[in-house]
Amino acid sequence: MKHQLKVRAYNPEVRKLLLEGIERIAKAEALSARAPREPLIKIGEAQDPTYNDPAVTKRLSAAVARQIEAQNVLEARPEMVAEDFGEFGKAAGVPSVLLRVGAAEPAKYEASLKSGTPLPSLHSSGFAPDKEPTIKMAATALTLSALELLGKP
């Protein structure tokens, strides 16, 4: 019998502890049930959490907010999603920030807020960004961020 779990955490050390605990409990359960053999535990593709460096996040948020109006820059809650972006900063040993750009048409966004029905997410087949404003804002945020980090406001 095959079972699969997805294990996510905000912190790699916590993820490691969770995986160790799952393995320990699965083996103990098999032993207590007198299973004919120990369970095979395989860890598949793993992704460490993307960690936004707080100081760099604050700096870039402020730089973008100065240009596009502060009410358009929002702090999002942490999410447990798989995203390989965090590997770039980790591999290079530098602080990194993953900025998200709103992509929904304003009317659809407002309707979503009022109804409580979430909009389709980035990796959903229903994701349909408002193309031109999204591309322009992403280019603006990227440019402003690069200028800020290069010390050229």
**What is the rounded average pLDDT of the residues 107-123?**
92
Phi and psi angles of residue 104, each rounded to the nearest 5 degrees, phi first: -85, 150
Q: Is the pLDDT of residue 151 over 80?
A: yes
Question: Which segments of 33-126 does DSSP mark as H helices, in order?
Answer: 54-68, 86-92, 106-115
pLDDT in the model for residue 122: 84
Express each pLDDT in 26-60 by its tens digit: 999 999 999 999 999 988 877 777 888 999 999 99
pLDDT in the model for residue 45: 75
pLDDT in the model for residue 5: 86
Q: Is the pLDDT of residue 10 over 90?
A: no
pLDDT in the model for residue 82: 66
Express each pLDDT in 63-109 by its tens digit: 999 999 888 898 888 877 767 887 888 888 888 888 889 899 999 99
**What is the rounded average pLDDT of the residues 113-130?**
91
pLDDT in the model for residue 153: 62
pLDDT in the model for residue 48: 77
**Could you tell me if 92 and 52 are in contact, meaning their C-beta atoms sit under 8 angstroms apart?**
no
Straight-line distance from the first to the last Cα atom of the chain, in angstroms, rounded to the nearest whole number: 59
Domains, the chain: 1-46 (no CATH), 54-149 (1.10.150)
Q: Quick one: which H or E segment has residue 19?
A: helix 12-32
